[in-house]
């Protein structure tokens, strides 16, 4: 597979106008702004003690509307972990929201934007840290509230058809380190010193995923503390993961290279805990007691297993250093560590989102397979704002949902981080998905077989779903290989290999030809939607007439540009999966040319069409031979390809330039028209030679320009292509000979 890179792909739905005004009028350095994207398709943004919620999914109405609600007043900062958006019942269309202030004041909206209910949760001078939904039943939803020192509180939301919703709170005394009455007495007697020692980073709900007794894990800078809150309601055990990391890293290191570890962030992953760890070591002495500290980030995976002797093994299964650019370690690392968030979009990758940069790690549990992709800034390509491009965007929040990492940026809005090939056109799917969906109406692409798989693989590629595209393509190649192997058992290995790729070449060319030779839809060009048996109003007739008279060149150029966009995307598709090397075998169906050569010549033809069309649009009134050839070809195309006839709004140029594969016929037809004109004494021979020669020179210019483009497929000069085929070369050389002969006769 070709090299991939990370792209920031903005959602189609923009920020609501109220959110845009808020962000424009608010100083990020002074205001507390944080945000998140939820699996429910909603974006939440908190600014001080105000929350805005809107749909991230683009609707027909256009710009979404944000619901604004006021959170309980607080003297501390809100975080996104202090609000919980949920749906009480799957059959309900509306969502509910539960929030808690750091001081413990609850506010509940049974429906967003409606009148809220207020309650108070007694926290005993502690500070609320994290609230999460842990259980949903028909008439009750249960939430777990964790304080910054590790205490737990249960919040029950009772709701039913016959009574108003009701909130009930109670402390959960689990005992052990970081919880229970003993801990709360320590807070009361000794104050913030004990609180600082016991301050947690995160609470992870792991019920049913890490053994029978563990329900909740409190993550501290050194420890993982496991609690049972459903059955035993007690502290279960504590693991010093910092020490496990120290021992695992130090196995093959000298004493001077050993690092001391601390936890930065953690998430539940598979059957264990995925950890973002900071490893530090003293590197250079700069004084009697001062040292420079070398810092590196690591990904660790902790899990608990029961061996054959029924003994629980608690191990750090993997510890892999994150390969970040040195600049991210040298400048601003402290702030990055404060904002670092670990995400796991899928089973084979994880991400770390910093406030100004992003890293994606593939195969993060296997040292031999691990790979890293880094965004050193949140930069979105924007020609209107080059200053923003240089400085990068501001991150408000991040989340891992639906198999991808999602970001909430100030300028870019809600975005998806995608791993795509270099030079990928992010706007392609948005602009051309309707054309791709048209493939489902084509019989040859809807049958169950190889054609269907290749089409689906390309559509998924255009839709930015690289994983699914790769899977479909793998199935396609396996299917072709198996079917060909069954029918070629007696052939040699080379013959079987060549046979294996025959089908792929034909499938690839056939699919590309569909996009390059297809008839435009009425939405692309309304003139193509007209049929002689269709009743249209006078206004529609006036519009079509206006398009045909004043905008036909613009509309046709747009069609050629759409064809070029499809050609570029298809070649990128072939290169990404290294399919070009598989279609380099001559085929009888291609007149002993290779599939690679056919695709290359289609690109040259398309480039030449655009070049000659621009020339034609400038000199259309002084090209009688070209216009005559256009008329002849257009009449034959109506019969050969079933193009719409009796359409007064389409010109012969529209018909001829709708087919890329047959563009060479224009050259032969023009040359033949020139030969006939030379026999007619009423025509100026010099004018005929100039007109035909100008077309040929323009075509050659287009081919030369095409061969300088990186996105085109380049082939060797001795490979058979359209330029050295008899149906083109014969007429081209005939005109050159005619020019030389006429020149010699005139200047003998």
On whether both 433 and 349 belong to a single domain, the answer is no
Model confidence at 322: pLDDT above 90: yes
On whether both 309 and 456 belong to a single domain, the answer is no
Q: Identify whether 517 is part of a domain.
A: yes
| Alpha helical stretches, state H, 8-153 | 17-25
On whether both 596 and 699 belong to a single domain, the answer is yes
Q: Identify whether 309 is part of a domain.
A: yes
Per-residue pLDDT band at 479 (split at 50, 70, 90) = confident
34-48 per-position pLDDT tens digit = 999 999 999 999 999
Model confidence at 738: pLDDT above 70: no
- Pull the structure tokens for residue 732: 């081209």
CA atoms within 13 A on the CB side of 645: 10
270, containing H or E segment: none
Model confidence at 22: pLDDT above 70: yes
Q: Identify whether 577 is part of a domain.
A: yes
On whether both 226 and 350 belong to a single domain, the answer is yes
Q: Which of 697, 484, 668, 459 is nearest to 573 (CA)?
A: 459
Per-residue pLDDT band at 290 (split at 50, 70, 90) = low
Tell me the residue range of the domain where 516 lies: 428-746
On whether both 687 and 603 belong to a single domain, the answer is yes
459, containing H or E segment: helix 450-462
Asked whether the beta carbons of 665 and 636 are under 8 A apart, the reply is no
Mean confidence (pLDDT) of the chain: 85
CA distance 484 to 159: 63
Per-residue pLDDT band at 390 (split at 50, 70, 90) = very low
Name the pTM for this structure: 0.85
Instruction: Report the domain count for the chain.
Output: 2
- Complete DSSP assignment for 422-440: TT--TTHHHHHHHHHHGGG
502 vs 126, higher pLDDT = 126
Grouping H, G, I as helix, E, B as strand and the rest as coil, residue 334 is: helix
Per-residue pLDDT band at 740 (split at 50, 70, 90) = low
Asked whether the beta carbons of 217 and 275 are under 8 A apart, the reply is no
On whether both 524 and 615 belong to a single domain, the answer is yes
On whether both 478 and 611 belong to a single domain, the answer is yes
Q: CA separation (Å) from 660 to 419, 517, 608, 698?
A: 32, 6, 10, 16
- Pull the structure tokens for residue 653: 């140029």
CA distance 520 to 562: 10
> Which of 244-258, 382-396, 446-460 has the highest average model confidence (pLDDT)?
244-258
Q: Domain boundary at 376, 397, 414, which?
A: 376
Per-residue pLDDT band at 263 (split at 50, 70, 90) = very high
CA distance 229 to 237: 13
Task: Determine the average pLDDT of the residues in 365-394.
Answer: 75
Model confidence at 655: pLDDT above 70: yes
Task: Determine the average pLDDT of the residues in 517-536.
Answer: 85
Model confidence at 485: pLDDT above 70: no
Per-residue pLDDT band at 77 (split at 50, 70, 90) = very high
Spatial neighbors of 733 by CB under 8 A, at least 6 apart, are none
Q: Domain boundary at 376, 411, 443, which?
A: 376
For the chain, the farthest-separated pair of C-alpha atoms sits apart, in whole angstroms, at: 116
Of the ranges 276-280, 410-414, 531-535, 638-642, which one carries the lowest mean pLDDT score? 531-535
Burial class (CB in 10 A: 0-12, 13-18, 19+), 252: exposed
Task: Determine the average pLDDT of the residues in 647-676.
Answer: 89
Q: Identify whether 84 is part of a domain.
A: no
- Pull the structure tokens for residue 714: 């380049």
Q: Angle at Cα 407 formed by Cα 299 and Cα 77, nearest 5°? A: 90
| pLDDT of the residue at 194 | 44
On whether both 358 and 479 belong to a single domain, the answer is no
Per-residue pLDDT band at 19 (split at 50, 70, 90) = very high
| R_g over Cα of the chain | 34
**What's the gap between Cα 150 and its chain centre?**
38
CA distance 580 to 595: 8
418 vs 490, higher pLDDT = 418
| pLDDT of the residue at 726 | 65
Task: Determine the average pLDDT of the residues in 180-197.
Answer: 50
Please report the sign of the dihedral spanned by the C-alpha atoms of residue 590, residue 593, residue 596, residue 600. negative
Cα torsion 432, 434, 435, 440 to 10°: value is: 140
| pLDDT of the residue at 722 | 64
Model confidence at 53: pLDDT above 70: yes
On whether both 519 and 580 belong to a single domain, the answer is yes
Q: Which of 471, 423, 461, 464 is nearest to 439 (CA)?
A: 461
Asked whether the beta carbons of 398 and 8 are under 8 A apart, the reply is no
Q: Identify whether 319 is part of a domain.
A: yes
Model confidence at 193: pLDDT above 50: no
Beta-bridge partners for 224: 219, 239
Model confidence at 633: pLDDT above 80: yes
CA distance 18 to 23: 9
On whether both 357 and 440 belong to a single domain, the answer is no
Of the ranges 72-76, 132-136, 328-332, 555-559, which one carries the lowest mean pLDDT score? 328-332
Q: Identify whether 78 is part of a domain.
A: no
**What's the gap between Cα 465 and its chain centre?**
7
CA distance 656 to 635: 10
Model confidence at 561: pLDDT above 90: yes
Beta-bridge partners for 34: 46
Model confidence at 717: pLDDT above 80: no
204-230 per-position pLDDT tens digit = 999 988 877 889 999 999 999 999 998
CA distance 707 to 713: 8
Per-residue pLDDT band at 719 (split at 50, 70, 90) = low
Percent pLDDT > 90 in the chain is 52
Per-residue pLDDT band at 718 (split at 50, 70, 90) = low
Q: How many CB atoms lie within 10 A of CB 28?
A: 12
- Pull the structure tokens for residue 234: 């007690």
> Which of 128-137, 475-484, 519-528, 734-743 has the highest average model confidence (pLDDT)?
128-137
CA distance 277 to 320: 10
On whether both 465 and 362 belong to a single domain, the answer is no
218, containing H or E segment: strand 216-219
Percent pLDDT > 70 in the chain is 85
Q: Identify whether 587 is part of a domain.
A: yes
The beta strand positions in 39-193, using DSSP E, are 42-47, 50-55, 67-70, 83-86, 96-100, 105-109, 117-120, 128-136, 140-147, 152-158, 166-172
Per-residue pLDDT band at 644 (split at 50, 70, 90) = confident
CA distance 455 to 472: 9
Spatial neighbors of 699 by CB under 8 A, at least 6 apart, are 608, 611, 612, 667
Model confidence at 406: pLDDT above 70: yes
Task: Determine the average pLDDT of the residues in 64-86.
Answer: 94
Asked whether the beta carbons of 620 and 627 are under 8 A apart, the reply is yes
Q: Identify whether 662 is part of a domain.
A: yes
């Amino acid at each position: 597979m070709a090299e991939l890179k990370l792209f920031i792909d903005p959602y189609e739905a923009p920020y609501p106008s109220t959110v845009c005004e808020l962000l424009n009028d608010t100083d990020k350095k002074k205001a507390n702004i944080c945000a998140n994207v939820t699996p429910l398709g909603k974006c939440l943004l908190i600014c001080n003690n105000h929350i805005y919620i809107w749909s991230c999914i683009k609707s027909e109405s256009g710009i979404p509307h944000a619901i604004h609600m006021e959170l309980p007043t607080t003297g501390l900062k809100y975080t996104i972990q202090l609000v919980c958006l949920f749906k009480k019942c799957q059959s309900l269309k509306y969502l509910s929201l539960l929030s808690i202030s750091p001081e413990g004041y609850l506010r509940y909206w049974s429906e967003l934007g409606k009148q809220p209910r207020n309650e108070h949760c007694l926290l005993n001078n502690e500070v609320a840290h994290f609230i999460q939904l842990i259980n949903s039943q028909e008439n009750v939803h249960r939430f777990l509230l964790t304080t910054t020192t590790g205490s737990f509180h249960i919040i029950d939301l009772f709701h039913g058809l016959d009574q108003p919703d009701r909130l009930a709170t109670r402390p959960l005394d689990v005992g052990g380190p970081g919880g229970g009455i003993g801990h709360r007495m320590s807070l009361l007697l000794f104050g913030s010193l004990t609180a600082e020692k016991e301050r947690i980073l995160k609470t992870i709900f792991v019920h049913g995923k890490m053994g029978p007794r563990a329900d909740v894990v409190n993550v501290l800078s050194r420890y993982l503390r496991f609690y049972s809150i459903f059955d035993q309601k007690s502290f279960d055990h504590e693991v010093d993961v910092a020490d496990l990391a120290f021992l695992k890293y130090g196995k093959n290191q000298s004493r001077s290279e050993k690092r001391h570890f601390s936890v930065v962030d953690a998430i539940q992953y598979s059957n264990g805990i995925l950890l973002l760890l900071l490893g530090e070591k003293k590197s250079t002495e700069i004084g009697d007691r001062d040292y420079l500290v070398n810092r590196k980030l690591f990904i660790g995976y902790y899990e608990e297993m029961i061996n054959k002797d029924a003994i629980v093994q608690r191990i750090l299964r993997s510890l892999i250093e994150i390969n970040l650019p040195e600049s991210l370690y040298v400048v601003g690392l402290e702030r990055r560590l404060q904002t670092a968030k670990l995400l796991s979009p899928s089973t084979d990758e994880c991400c770390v989102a910093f406030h100004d940069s992003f890293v994606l790690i593939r195969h993060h549990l296997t040292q031999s397979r691990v790979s890293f992709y880094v965004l050193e800034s949140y930069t979105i390509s924007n020609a209107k704002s080059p200053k923003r491009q240089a400085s990068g965007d501001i991150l408000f929040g991040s989340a891992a949902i639906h198999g991808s990492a999602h970001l909430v940026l100030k300028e870019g809005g809600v975005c998806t981080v995608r791993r795509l090939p270099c030079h990928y056109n992010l706007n392609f799917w948005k602009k051309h998905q309707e054309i791709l969906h048209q493939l489902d109406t084509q019989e040859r692409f809807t049958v169950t077989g190889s054609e269907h798989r290749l089409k689906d693989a390309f559509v998924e590629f255009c839709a930015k779903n690289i994983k699914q595209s790769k899977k479909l393509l793998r199935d396609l190649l396996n299917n072709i290989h198996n079917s060909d192997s069954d029918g070629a058992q007696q052939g040699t290995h080379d013959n079987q290999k060549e046979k294996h790729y025959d089908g792929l070449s034909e499938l690839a060319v056939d699919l590309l030809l569909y996009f390059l030779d297809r008839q435009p839809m009425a939405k692309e060009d309304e003139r193509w939607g007209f049929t002689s048996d269709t009743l249209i109003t006078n206004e529609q007739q006036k519009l079509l007439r206006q398009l045909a008279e004043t905008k036909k060149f613009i509309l046709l150029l747009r069609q050629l540009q759409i064809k070029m966009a499809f050609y570029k995307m298809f070649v990128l598709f072939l290169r990404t999966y290294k399919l070009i090397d598989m279609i380099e075998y001559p085929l009888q169906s291609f007149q002993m040319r290779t599939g690679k050569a056919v695709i290359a010549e289609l690109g040259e033809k398309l480039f030449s069409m655009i070049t000659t069309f621009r020339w034609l649009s400038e000199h259309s009134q002084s090209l009688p031979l070209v216009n005559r050839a256009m008329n002849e070809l257009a009449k034959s195309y109506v019969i050969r390809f079933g193009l719409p006839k009796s359409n007064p709004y389409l010109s012969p140029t529209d018909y001829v330039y709708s087919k890329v594969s047959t563009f060479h016929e224009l050259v032969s037809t023009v040359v033949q028209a020139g030969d006939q004109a030379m026999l007619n004494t009423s025509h100026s021979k010099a004018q005929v030679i100039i007109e035909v020669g100008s077309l040929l020179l323009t075509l050659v210019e287009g081919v030369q320009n095409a061969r300088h483009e990186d996105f085109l497929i380049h082939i060797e000069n001795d490979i058979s292509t359209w330029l050295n085929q008899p149906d083109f070369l014969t007429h081209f050389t005939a005109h050159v000979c005619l020019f030389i002969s006429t020149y010699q006769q005139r200047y003998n």
